[in-house]
Every structure is written in structure tokens, then in C-alpha cells.
Structure 1
Amino acid sequence: MVDSGNTYRDKVSQLISWGHWFSFFNIIAAMLLGTRYIAQSGWPETLIGQTYQLLTWVGHFGFIVFAVYILVIFPASFLIPSQRLMRLFAVLVATAGMTILLLDIYAFETLHLHLNPLVWELLLSGEKTDMNAHWQYLFVVVPAIFLLEIAMSEWVWRKLRKLSRKRVGVPIAAVFAVCFLGSHLIHIWADAFLYSPVTAQRSNFPISYPMTAKTFMEKYGLLDRQEYQRRRDELGNQESEVIRYPLEKISFAADASSYKQNLLIVMVDGLRADMLDPVVMPNLSQFGKDNMTFSHHYSSSNDAMAGIFGLFYGLPGSYAQSARTEGLSPLLIDTLDKKGYRFGLFSADSFENPIYYQSIFGKHLENTTKVNSNEAWVADHMAADNLDKWIKQGDSKKPWFAYLELKSVTEYEQGGDYDRPFQPSLDNELANVGDHTALVLKNSYNNAAYYVDGLLGELFDTLEQNGQLDNTVVMVTANHGTEFNETGSNSWGANTNYSQYQLQVPLVVHWPNQSPREVDAYSSHLDIVPTLMESMLAVDSPAELYTSGRNLFELADKPRRWVIAGDSRDIVVVQPDKTTVVDKFGNYRIYDSNYKLQPEGKPQLSVLMQVMHELKRFYHPDES
């Protein structure tokens, strides 16, 4: 076919034409492999979502393969004079690309992640894990891919004249271009108007970065940024997958109807673990000594929403957006409702956090007594008083569930008309308020905790005076902690790092007929749901069907080696000697027990594999 007398221009022209067709058939091969992503992610329910997925499938793989051709093979056509050597080079490039695609598919199916630094670390580690054992088998198919690419290369070369005569190159290129542009235009619209059947597909395919144009649309009056932000806050992050929770229908013990214990959960916003101190919080400290104290208890996140989510769902914070988007109520709340519990919900801010009214409590908030006060300390007092009255006036024959949320601690800078035994604080004229030194802020925080402790003491007295303690499970904890730059990283408050100051919170539990003790095993917010479901509500289904946690009463005999924290942005694994933080791009950082960065630190891959499995276990493609 090729005459040795051809000029350099003719050779390059033939190689470029061959390269176009060779790339086209590799696009078809990549698209066929890409159906594995669609099978794993699930088929959208809406017509627009389905259209977007099809356009993205065609346009995205067409773009990736053609980009490799333009950046690698096309320039090489001018540099490698021998057509055989050039075709061998293109075959090697195509083989490498298809192999990487297969590895990415395996990572996506196994970890629900595309290739990134963490995945490569997992793949190339020397640890003996199931993932390492399986992925190496993929290299068995590399010779087969190489032979198929050679066969495709030879066939295209022999049929090049016939293929060129068909003059279908421009229509084929137009199809791929329309699909590529169409998919990005649909995503621009969906991103601006928060259309989740499209935006939820953002990360289905590798190296996928769909276009957004909110600034451009706002500039030309096509988007109201304030309205967009309001709707986004209302709806939450729409890039969420379908969650299946619980995994199977839950069953109860035969004598479950005899369980009639009341349940009271008190959540003190922003209360860190070391506040369980006889000087700062004497009432709660004494209550802990008389009951059960979990001295190494961790919230499910350093963020308020994800911390509350873990408390009520028993699932890691990464599932929060999916549950919130779907309006999925917690199994614990549904079970209490079905068993006829009377609900009493009390909050200093009338449950402003959207997670409460969108998914956790829903209809139960309709009859909630609103607290109207801009001062957190007043609102806390009103909420606690409302709970006191509710307990005293309730039907003693009907079991009840009460939830009290207190805000004074996290709003400590507001101050209030209460005792301030810790000085200097922000209210003290002698304090250097302008500097907002750690000492002044910490003392103000302690004063707020001291005030809240007084409210808790009154609540404990009410329960005892009404004879309720003998038949009521009481849990006092927090959604997250608060830091005053103890890590030396200029971190203050919450949601700034994953140190013990922001993650570790108190957990004091009064459980009728349980002896007082301190449990120093690592516990988590995720453990509260299985404890209540099994030990109070008589669920006999395995806990792994509805939670990532374990029964608190089992931790002393079988202590856990790690705790999951984090949210939709970060995966956090807390261990006694280190904390591992992995961001959504797969970049990881290792910190020691004092939260000092360890530049040479490596993640414990066997633990990360278990964590990654837990973070995808409740995600399932929509089978409806």
C-alpha cells in the first residue's frame, strides 16, 4: 500500500489519516468499557438526566481519546518517519490508555473513586489486601489488549483507502462535537438551577469536569445569585447518590412490646470533651460519675450538620447529603414513632439547621414550641424550661422521646446575664478584648459551659423528682467540639481541622439498671443508634443493616481500632496514634496524636480499605 518512493508529505498525510481512524475505533472501545461506569452509577429516572448521561458518555470518551491523539500521536506523526515504528508507538500509547481505563473502572467499582494519589497508594502498596490481590490480575489482559490494538492498527492501515473514500469523517466528528458541547450546556443549566438528576452525575466518568457558568449568567441577568444561594442552602448539595437505608427490613424481638423506656438526648452545641470537668461543669461531671462516661468519644464530624446526622442516623457524614436530598428520615425516629412514643423537641434556635426539618424530624416539628430570643443564653433557658414543663405535664403511661438542643456554649462570645467564675473573660473591662487572646476566649467559653451546666442540673433534678430516671435513658453529648488554637495552626472554633479539640466530645449516659463506670474505649456518634435500637427498642436484626456503628455496651470487650469522621469533602480516620485525612481528590495527610503534620507519614491501607468500604456500603444504583 505504501510506496517507498512516497515523499515525506505523503507519508505524514497517510499516518494522520490512519491516526484519525485508529482513534475513532479506540473511542468506540473506550465507550464500550465506559458502560461499566453507567452500570455502577445507575440509570437516571428523568428524561433530561438520561439525555445528559448519553451525551456525556459519547462526548466525554470521544474527547478524551481524541485529546490523546492530538497531544501525543499527531505530533509523533511528524517526528517518526517509519510508518511501522509510528504505528507501534500508537499501539503502545493506546494499550497504556486502555489499561489505565481498566484500572480506573476497577477502582470506581471497588472504592467508588477514580484514580488519584490515594488509589495509587492502595494499588501499589505492599500490604496484603484483597484489592491488591485482585487488581494485579488486570495485568494479565494487557498482552491481550496489545494484540487487539495491533490487529486494529493493521486492519485500519489495510482498509485506509476504502475508509477514506466513505467521507464520513466530518459527520462522525460532528456527532462527537455536538454530544460534547450538548452535555456541557445541559450541565451549565442544571448547575444554575440545581437540577440534581444531572449534577449528581458530575463524577461518574474519569477526568470529568463539566462546565459551569453562574458568573456569566448572573452578569447577563440570567441568574439571581441570592435566589440561587437561598435554594442551594435549602436543598443542600445536590451531587448525591441514591442511598439505600436500611439495607433490609428491620425485625424486632418477640417481646419487643414490653420495652417502654423513655429517651432523652441533650445536644450541647460546640461542647468539647474536656469540659466534662468538676470545676467547669460540676453537675454534668457528677452525673457522669454516677452513670456511664465515655472518655474517648468522637463526633461523626467537626461540622454541625454532619455531626447531628451521625448522631441520629448512625452513618458517616458522607451520607448526609444523600439523605438530606431524599428527605430520608432516620430509622431511630421512625421506630420511636411506630412504637407510639410521644415526641418533645426543644431547641434554642427553633431547629434552624436544615437537616432537622428536611430529614431528621420532618412532620414532628409542626407542634414544636418556638423559642423567640436573639440571645442564646435566654433561648437556652426558655428551651430547658419548656422541656421541664413538658416532662411534668406528660402522660406517665405513654413512653416519650425528648430532644434538647442548647446553644450558649457555641455562642459564648455573646455572653449573657449569668455567673462568670472564669476570668478574665470578654465581659471583663480589664480584659484585652481587642486582642481576643486564647485565654480570654477560653474563659468566656468556660463561663457559657458553666451556665449550661446549671440548666442541666435543673433538668436532672426534674427527672429525679418526677420519678423518671428509673425508666429513662439519658444521653448528653455535643455535635462537635471547639478549638482555641491548641494545635498552633491558627485554628479557632469548629470546622477548621480534625484535631481532638474539634472532634472529641463528651458522652454521658444514664441507663436504668446499669452500674456507674468510665469506658475508655474509642466510641463514636455512630454507636448511639445501634445501642438504642438493640438495647432499648429490641431490634434483633444485625446492626450492619442500618448503621456503621456498634453497640456501646460491646466496646469494652471488643474495642475498635479506629473511628470514622469527616463529611462530603473529607474522609477522616482517627486512630490512637494518628489521624488520616483524605480529601475528595484522593490527596491524603497524616497527623500525629497532637495533630502535627507528618510529611513522611503513610496511611494504614488495610484500615483505609475498610473505611472506604463502609463509606460506599449504603450506596446502591437505583433499581426502580
Structure 2
Amino acid sequence: MNEQTHGRNVRFAYFGLVYLVLLWINAANVDFAAAAASGYASLLFLVNAFVSYNALYLLPALLLTWLVARPSLWRRLRLPRAAVWAPDVTAVLTGALTTLFFYANAKLHALYGMFINGFVINLLMTPGGIESLGGSGSSTIGFALIALAFFVGHAALFVALTFGARRLSSLPAGMRRLGRPLIVVLLLSILSDHSVYAYTSAVGNKPEMLELTEGVPFYVGTTARTLFKKLGFEVAAQDKSLRQQGGGHLQYPAKPLEFTKPEKPYNIVWLVSESWRADTLDPEIMPATWAFAQKAQVFTQHYSGGNGTRIGIFTMMTGLPGTYWEAFLKGRRGVPIIDVLRQQGYQMSFYTSAKFSYPEFDRTVFSQVPREQLHEIDAPLAGWEKDRQNVSDLLKFIDTRDPARPFFAWMFFESPHARYYFPPESVIRTPYRDDINYATLDRDELQKDIVPIKNRYLNAVHHLDGQFARIIDHLETHGLLENTIVVMLGDHGEEFMENGYWGHNSTFSDPQTRTPLILWIPGRTPAVHDRLSSHLDVVPTLMPLLGVKNPPEDYSSGYDLFSGRQRDHVVFSDWSRVGYKDADVKITLSEDVGPLGKRISGPHDEKLTPQRAQELFQSKQPQLVRLMQELGRFKQKSRHEP
């Protein structure tokens, strides 16, 4: 057998083994037990989808290797004889990259319940995104070693097949010609998979079977409702009123804002913390903040507008659902409350221990703020060190301002962001993890070590309390609390496996979305409010105090928390989903409300039977339709848009 034929056989065997590695990596995402419990038909459907999709994942590597292996390519490009190694090198590199990608993808899914998507790509590509992950040196080294191990392992495998498996030359001719039959089998597998999906999706008789495919990375279902209807099948009704309203031009605010500058305008100090979950506001973890809260307005059932920093800060600064983020980013639109403050001559200064560029706040909510007023620290300091430095700079701004003019100070704290940052003197809970190595962290380790990891978080929140105290004490010492509004809240919460995940950005669970809200308004009697409130309500509550005459409906989807109006639901959103929560239910809807487009639980994430979930979903149709209409209320479609 000549070298060319031997090389082709080696590559054939190599990609066969790579395929087995892919099956092993991605099997961790798929719930085969649930499929078996659902019946043999469901199990067969899932296994077929899993097997065929893992073959599809290899197609780019196979096609590129096949192209490089064409002798005509060498002759046309007049490549040197050493180019005969190019197909083998291409096979090893593409095989290693493919398995490494899906290893990272599976790890992401295990920890956060998501596959690599637009959010992850945005995080990697946007300046400041990588830094926001909070990885340590050990994590970086770990990732580098894992990547190196993949490439070395694949190279060693290929070398072993080349020099230690000469038996490949004795393979029967039929075995060496398996390529075309395998392609036919793959096409038939894909056709049957998508035919079953299309049929089940159209008739709607077994949606739980389709849900099984959520564990298959990047699975795309096929729909053919019109075809099945023409063939005489009874097609399930489809409610298009629950689709999110996309497109359109931003028309915001709905009406120009009118205001009368107060005779004695309030100063405003707005303090936002990363990952500050609601139940940490207690006398042990945050004694200073707790004591201050007893003098202020505390909202105990407060929810962020999302489960991540982007939407959390966007919703609190605009009073709008996070679904408007893209329109603001595209139009470089700022927020009305800052427009009002600028027109009233406020001195303003903004501080972050992260980056204003990630998420893109410098191109959205703070896009109209002069760059010299946006302060971030470029030095390689820990999150707690940046918080301390920024607090010192904020206090200096207050001390050196023009006392004849009101001021607005805004700060974003980083201490409670994973890896959770704190100095030794802030330790109140032990044992705690010395470090969190993302490269080696897996679900089993999380389950085992979640208490030490959470203790690390609580120590970071205790450090946050000390920084809040520095600001409050400074305002009180200088007599500024008498005419300063103070806002204190988290961008979102943080989960510690209460519902199966760690961190945030994965679900709309209570631990990921509930945050404290403390409002200090001079002269207002202290009170604890147990009613539902949202980040969307913060701006509508502050605007009247700034002399704005417009009703909240002109510039927000929120309520003035002191107007007497009772909120009956809150809304969440993230990169591609919208959530609704009221006293009865929590519903998550994806962009395309199809058979996999909704998740239903109790209001505090309680599991429901399928029958009870469907009953609640049907009973909430009017509220959901109104929600979808609200998501598009500040967008105006052009004549050419449907």
C-alpha cells in the first residue's frame, strides 16, 4: 500500500477516534435517563439526534482535511514535497480544536446551563469582557495546560496510528471505502431526526420529547407546519401574540420630558454592587448597611431586570425592560435621568471597578456622559483594592465639588464578583476557598465545595459593607444626608447551586435575580416594604424628586414606588429570553415561543407537574400578551416593516 493510501487510512481511523471523544465529551450534557423514562421512541429519537449531530460537529475538520489532501492542490500551488504532511497536520489541528471547543462548551453548560452563544462571544470580543470573568493566574495556567494537553494528545494519537498501527494497511478494501456509505447513513439519520421533530412540533402531541434535544449542543429543530397541514394532519394552534416584538426604530421617551428644577435640588449618590443577593442584607454580614437601612426605605421583594450586569444596570438606569438594550446600543442612546441632571447643572462623576466598555455602558446608558467623568482603574489590582480606591476618589470628588451646585455620584463595586475579592480583615466566614480555578472546576467539585465557595462570597460582601459605610459615614459627618438621595442595590443576585447552578447569567431563579434595594430620601419616615418591586421602578421613583412632570409611562415601564400603585408582576430578560413572575408563577419565554420556547415554575422556582404548568401558562395568556406589547411600546416600525 502506498504512502498516500496509508495516510488516508490513518486519517480515517484518527477521525473515527475523534468522533468517539466527541461522543464522550457531549454525553455529559444529554439526559438519556429522562429519555428512557419517557419511552423507547423518545430514547431512540434522542440517541439518533445525538449521534448525527456529533458527526456534524466533525464536518468542518473533515472537509478542510480533505481539501488539503487533494494532490491537485499541491501541484497547482507548486508546494514542496514536505507539503505531503499538510493533510496530517491539518487533521491533528482541526481535530484538537474541535474537541477542545466542545470540551469548553460542555464545561460552560455544566456550570452555567448555557452553550457558547452570542453572549459568550460578545464577552470574549468586547474590550473589558475577559477581565470581567475575574479569572486568576491559576485559572489562566490551567486553561493553557488543558489546551496544550489537547493538542499534544491528538498529535500523539495520530503518531501512534501512523507508526504503531501498520495493520491499517491490511484493512479489507470494503472497510477503506466506508466514507460514502457513512455519508448516506448520516444523511438518513439527519433526515429522520428532523422529520420526527417537524411532525411532533406541528401536531404538538409530545413536546417533552423535543425538550430532550436541549442537551444536544447547537441543535436546530425543523418546523413544517404548513406542509403537514396540507397533508391533512391536524396541526396544533400557534399563538403568535407571545412572540417578542423585534425591529422598529427607538422612539424614546414617548414624549419630551418637562421639568421644573426644584428650589433646593437633591444630591444623588447611586451605589451599585456586582452580584449582591437579597439575603446578605443582614446584621452579621453587612452590619453598617443594615443599620443604615433601618433609617431608610427597604424593599424586601425587589428583583433585578435580569440575571447579568448588562441588563441589571440597563434596567435600573432606564426603567425599561432589557429587551431595549440592542436598540440603545445601536443608536448610542443615553438615559433621560442623566439628561435631566445635565440640564439642571449637576456636577457628575462615575466610578467603576470593572470597565465602562464591558458591557458597553459607554455606548448606552452613559453614552452622553463626557469621558473625563467616567473613571475606571487600569492598574492590576484586586477587586477589593479597586473598590477602596474608587471610594476614596468618589469622596474626594464630593469634597472638592462646587458646594453651590448639586452633584450626582455613581459607583459600581466589584468585590462580590466571582472570584469574590476581600482582604484578610474582612473574613467572617470560614472555611473558604483560597482560590476558584475555573480551569479545573466542575459540577461535582461545586456540589462538594459550594459552602466554602459561598463563604468566600460572604466575606467579599462583608468587605462591600465596609466600603458602603465609608460613603455613608462621610455624607453623615459632613451633613450631606439632609439633602442627598442615596440609592443602594445590586445589579443582580448570585446563585450557589440552590437551583442547580452557580453564579448568574444562567436562569431567572430567585437567587440570581433578587437583590436588596435601599432608598434614603431625606425627610421620609423609615419603612420596610414587602410588596413586589423591580429595577424598572428606580428611575420613575426618582424623576418626580427631580421636578419631572411627565408620568412614568412617558419614559419607562416602571412605577413610582411611592405613588400607591401596586406592582403585580416583574419582568426579566437576558441575551435571548424574557421572564415573567407574579404571585402564582414564573414563566421564561425564548425569542421563538415554539415547543421549546417556555419554562414554567412556581413563583420562587418550585417544580410543577406538567399539567399544573400548562394550566398556569394558559391562565396567564392575557398578562403575557400585555407583556409582549410593553416590550415594543417604545419602538416604532417603519412603513416597510411587517
Shift of 1:458: 1.0
Shift of 1:397: 0.9
Shift of 1:364: 2.4
Task: Please give the alpha-carbon distance, in whole angstroms, between the structure 2 residues aligned to 1:317 and 1:380.
Answer: 27
Task: Please give the alpha-carbon distance, in whole angstroms, between the structure 1 residues aligned to 2:332 and 2:367.
Answer: 8
Q: Match for 1:392 among 395, 399, 422? A: 399
Task: Please give the alpha-carbon distance, in whole angstroms, between the structure 1 residues aligned to 2:351 and 2:639.
Answer: 38
- Residue type matched to 2:257 in 1? I
1:510/1:257 CA distance change after superposition, 3 Å = closer
Contact 1:345-1:365 within 8 A present in 2 as well: no
Aligned partner of 1:245 in structure 2 is: 252
Aligned partner of 1:475 in structure 2 is: 487
Aligned partner of 1:370 in structure 2 is: 376
Aligned partner of 1:441 in structure 2 is: 453
RMSD (Å) for aligned C-alpha atoms: 3.1
1:606/1:426 CA distance change after superposition, 3 Å = same
Aligned partner of 2:555 in structure 1 is: 546
| Aligned structure 1 segments of 4 or more residues deviating by more than 3 angstroms | 92-97, 110-114, 411-418, 433-436
Is residue 2:583 matched to residue 1:571? no
Aligned partner of 2:99 in structure 1 is: none
Contact 2:267-2:484 within 8 A present in 1 as well: yes
Task: Please give the alpha-carbon distance, in whole angstroms, between the structure 2 residues aligned to 1:333 and 1:540.
Answer: 16
Task: Please give the alpha-carbon distance, in whole angstroms, between the structure 2 residues aligned to 1:412 and 1:95.
Answer: 57
What is the percent sequence identity of the aligned residues? Answer: 28
- Residue type matched to 2:622 in 1? S
Contact 1:268-1:409 within 8 A present in 2 as well: yes
| Deviations, residues 125-171 of structure 1 (Å, cap 9, x unaligned) | xxxxxxxxxxxxxxxxxxxxxxxxxxxxxxxxxxxxxxxxxxxxxxx
Shift of 1:300: 0.3
Which protein shows a greater Rg? 1
Task: Please give the alpha-carbon distance, in whole angstroms, between the structure 2 residues aligned to 1:612 and 1:428.
Answer: 43
Question: Matched residue pairs, number?
Answer: 398
Task: Please give the alpha-carbon distance, in whole angstroms, between the structure 2 residues aligned to 1:619 and 1:597.
Answer: 36
Is residue 2:508 matched to residue 1:498? yes
1:95/1:256 CA distance change after superposition, 3 Å = farther
Contact 2:419-2:435 within 8 A present in 1 as well: no
Contact 1:589-1:597 within 8 A present in 2 as well: no
Task: Please give the alpha-carbon distance, in whole angstroms, between the structure 2 residues aligned to 1:499 and 1:460.
Answer: 31
Task: Please give the alpha-carbon distance, in whole angstroms, between the structure 2 residues aligned to 1:515 and 1:424.
Answer: 40
* SS of aligned partner of 1:328: coil
Alignment of 1:338-487 (within 5 A): 338-367=343-372, 368-371=374-377, 372-427=379-434, 437-487=449-499
* SS of aligned partner of 2:250: coil
Q: Match for 1:527 among 531, 534, 537? A: 537
Is residue 2:618 matched to residue 1:606? no
- Residue type matched to 2:285 in 1? V
1:312/1:93 CA distance change after superposition, 3 Å = closer
Shift of 1:574: 1.3
Aligned partner of 1:593 in structure 2 is: 603
- TM-score, normalised to structure 1, is 0.60
Task: Please give the alpha-carbon distance, in whole angstroms, between the structure 2 residues aligned to 1:317 and 1:455.
Answer: 29
Task: Please give the alpha-carbon distance, in whole angstroms, between the structure 1 residues aligned to 2:380 and 2:408.
Answer: 25
Task: Please give the alpha-carbon distance, in whole angstroms, between the structure 1 residues aligned to 2:255 and 2:303.
Answer: 28
Contact 2:242-2:624 within 8 A present in 1 as well: no
* SS of aligned partner of 1:278: coil
Shift of 1:477: 0.3
Contact 1:476-1:507 within 8 A present in 2 as well: yes
* SS of aligned partner of 1:572: strand
Alignment of 1:306-325 (within 5 A): 306-325=311-330
Aligned partner of 2:300 in structure 1 is: 295
1:113/1:522 CA distance change after superposition, 3 Å = closer
1:386/1:264 CA distance change after superposition, 3 Å = same
Contact 1:112-1:616 within 8 A present in 2 as well: no
1:614/1:113 CA distance change after superposition, 3 Å = closer
Contact 1:376-1:411 within 8 A present in 2 as well: no
1:316/1:363 CA distance change after superposition, 3 Å = closer
- Residue type matched to 2:307 in 1? N
- Residue type matched to 1:458 in 2? R
Contact 2:586-2:604 within 8 A present in 1 as well: no
Task: Please give the alpha-carbon distance, in whole angstroms, between the structure 2 residues aligned to 1:93 and 1:479.
Answer: 47
1:484/1:354 CA distance change after superposition, 3 Å = closer
Contact 1:392-1:466 within 8 A present in 2 as well: no
Contact 1:316-1:567 within 8 A present in 2 as well: no
Shift of 1:607: 1.4
* SS of aligned partner of 2:622: helix
- TM-score, normalised to structure 2, is 0.58
1:96/1:267 CA distance change after superposition, 3 Å = farther
1:493/1:428 CA distance change after superposition, 3 Å = closer
1:410/1:289 CA distance change after superposition, 3 Å = same
Shift of 1:421: 1.4
Alignment of 1:197-276 (within 5 A): 241-252=248-259, 255-276=260-281
Shift of 1:593: 3.4
Contact 2:308-2:505 within 8 A present in 1 as well: yes
1:544/1:623 CA distance change after superposition, 3 Å = farther
| Deviations, residues 377-426 of structure 1 (Å, cap 9, x unaligned) | 11111011111111111111101111011001013445544421111111
* SS of aligned partner of 1:513: coil
- Residue type matched to 1:370 in 2? E
| Deviations, residues 286-342 of structure 1 (Å, cap 9, x unaligned) | 111111100001000002101111011100011111111111111111111111111
* SS of aligned partner of 2:351: strand
Quick check: 439-448 or 360-369, which moved more? 360-369
Contact 1:345-1:402 within 8 A present in 2 as well: yes
Aligned partner of 1:285 in structure 2 is: 290
- Residue type matched to 2:471 in 1? L
Task: Please give the alpha-carbon distance, in whole angstroms, between the structure 1 residues aligned to 2:370 and 2:295.
Answer: 33
- Residue type matched to 1:559 in 2? Q
- Residue type matched to 2:323 in 1? S
Task: Please give the alpha-carbon distance, in whole angstroms, between the structure 1 residues aligned to 2:384 and 2:370.
Answer: 22
| Deviations, residues 70-116 of structure 1 (Å, cap 9, x unaligned) | x9xxxxxxxxxxxxxxxxxx9x978999xx9xx98xx76x66559xx
Task: Please give the alpha-carbon distance, in whole angstroms, between the structure 2 residues aligned to 1:112 and 1:247.
Answer: 23
Quick check: 492-501 or 368-377, which moved more? 368-377
- Residue type matched to 1:376 in 2? G
- Residue type matched to 1:607 in 2? Q
| Deviations, residues 228-286 of structure 1 (Å, cap 9, x unaligned) | xxxxxxxxxxxx5421101111222xx53425111111000000000111100011111
Alignment of 1:48-59 (within 5 A): none
Is residue 2:519 matched to residue 1:509? yes
Aligned partner of 2:85 in structure 1 is: none
Shift of 1:568: 4.6
1:383/1:112 CA distance change after superposition, 3 Å = same
Structure 1: state its 5+ residue gaps: 1-70, 72-89, 115-202, 204-239
1:93/1:575 CA distance change after superposition, 3 Å = closer
